[in-house]
């Protein structure tokens, strides 16, 4: 894997945290395999998670009716995004592997990481308006939508309630996985063309697709048809590959 580049986006404020240890384990394991690793430590960087007009330099196209998605998309194309956004976009564009390392807060992303997605994944850079958007979970609604091949997550449960020796086992397992991470296959998502776009909202599978999935598995979360999910379904991300 010599020459491959990885980006770790860390969203935890404490260096003594297990999230920080997971980041360090990832850096160590990947570098041993010849990866070039960059870390965006969002708290250490004091990354600003707030979307605002300051994200765009120069005059907005419509200052009286400012619409952030449209303005940021135009600003990206014209090279007028703020320096911190441009720096993060360059790290993303250069990366072959991206790891998002974060704790779950209220069943979701920490505010600083959500803000990173809000500001960094601008139109033009991360997606185009010609693509269909399905409002959904983090893995499909953000990562898959923006072109990531999404890998199975590495999840540590109840870290605050397990002894140090068991934490070491988790770290070792993470390093072992990273040693072969490039060989992993992405999890699957239902292709956009398999949905009936004439239905309001576009969330209903076409009849022929439903027929195809009658046998054993449902195709994905939200369209599982009361059947078990396939082994490579989107239920499985915290680690992603571009």
Using alpha carbons, select from 134, 45, 31 the residue that is nearest to residue 84.
45
- Is residue 93 domain-resident? yes
Question: Treating both helix axes as pointing N-terminal to C-terminal, what angle do 83-94 and 111-120 enclose, rounded to 10 degrees?
Answer: 90
**What residue spans of the chain are helical by DSSP H?**
18-32, 68-77, 83-94, 111-120, 164-179, 207-212
- 189 in Cβ contact with 234 (< 8 Å): yes
- Is residue 60 domain-resident? yes
- 213 in Cβ contact with 202 (< 8 Å): no
pLDDT in tens, 97-108: 999 999 999 888
- Is residue 208 domain-resident? no
Beta bridge partners, 55, equal none
Average of per-residue pLDDT across 144-168: 84
Average of per-residue pLDDT across 10-33: 96
Average of per-residue pLDDT across 32-49: 97
Sign of CA dihedral 172, 150, 71, 124: positive
Q: What is the CA radius of gyration of the chain?
A: 20
Sheet of 239-241, strand order = 36-41, 5-10, 97-101, 239-241, 149-150
- Is residue 145 domain-resident? no
pLDDT in tens, 229-242: 566 554 444 444 43
As a whole number of angstroms, the distance between CA 123 and CA 104 comes to 27
- Is residue 15 domain-resident? yes
Q: Give the pairing of strands 36-41 and 149-150.
A: unpaired
Q: How far from each other are the two terminal CA atoms of the chain, in whole angstroms?
A: 15
Question: Treating both helix axes as pointing N-terminal to C-terminal, what angle do 18-32 and 164-179 enclose, rounded to 10 degrees?
Answer: 30
Question: Does the pLDDT at position 226 exceed 80?
Answer: no
* CATH number reported for the structural domain that contains residue 111 in this entry: 3.40.50.360
In this structure, of 33-37, 210-214, 237-241, the range with the lowest mean pLDDT score is 237-241
Q: Is residue 97 classed as helix, strand or coil in its secondary structure?
A: strand
Largest CA distance in the chain: 59
**Predicted model pTM:** 0.75
- Is residue 75 domain-resident? yes
Domain count, the chain: 1
Full domain range(s) for residue 28 = 5-130+152-185
Q: What pLDDT, on a 0 to 100 scale, did the predictor assign at position 133?
A: 43
pLDDT in tens, 109-145: 999 999 999 999 999 898 875 554 454 456 655 776 6
- Is residue 57 domain-resident? yes
- Give residues with Cβ within 8 angstroms of 126, minimum separation 6: 120, 146, 147
Sign of CA dihedral 197, 201, 205, 208: negative
Cα→Cα distances 186→20, 144, 189, 210, Å: 25, 10, 9, 23
Q: What pLDDT, on a 0 to 100 scale, did the predictor assign at position 238?
A: 44
Q: What does residue 150 show for φ and ψ, rounded to 5 degrees? A: -95, 130
- Is residue 159 domain-resident? yes
Q: What pLDDT, on a 0 to 100 scale, did the predictor assign at position 187?
A: 79
Question: Does the pLDDT at position 221 exceed 80?
Answer: no
Average of per-residue pLDDT across 19-39: 96
């Amino acid at each position: 894997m010599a020459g491959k580049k990885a980006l770790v986006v860390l969203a935890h404020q404490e260096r003594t945290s297990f999230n920080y240890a997971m980041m360090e384990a990832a850096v160590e394991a990947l570098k041993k395999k010849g990866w070039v690793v960059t870390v965006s430590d969002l708290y250490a960087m004091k990354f600003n998670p707030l979307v605002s007009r300051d994200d765009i330099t120069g005059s907005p196209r419509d200052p009286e009716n400012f619409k952030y998605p449209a303005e940021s998309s135009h600003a990206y194309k014209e090279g007028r995004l703020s320096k911190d956004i441009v720096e993060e976009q360059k790290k993303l564009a250069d990366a072959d592997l991206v790891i998002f390392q974060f704790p779950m807060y209220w069943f979701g992303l920490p505010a600083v990481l959500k803000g990173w997605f809000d500001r960094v994944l601008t139109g033009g850079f991360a997606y185009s308006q010609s693509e269909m958007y399905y409002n959904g979970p983090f893995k499909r609604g953000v990562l898959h939508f923006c072109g990531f091949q999404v890998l199975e997550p590495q999840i540590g449960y109840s870290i605050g309630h397990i002894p140090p020796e068991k934490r070491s086992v988790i770290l070792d397992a993470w390093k072992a996985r990273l040693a072969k991470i490039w060989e992993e296959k992405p999890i699957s998502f239902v292709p956009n063309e398999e949905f009936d776009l004439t239905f309001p909202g576009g969330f209903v599978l076409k009849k022929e697709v439903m027929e195809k999935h009658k046998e054993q598995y449902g195709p994905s979360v939200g369209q599982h048809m009361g059947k078990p999910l396939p082994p490579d379904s989107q239920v499985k991300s915290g680690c992603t590959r571009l």
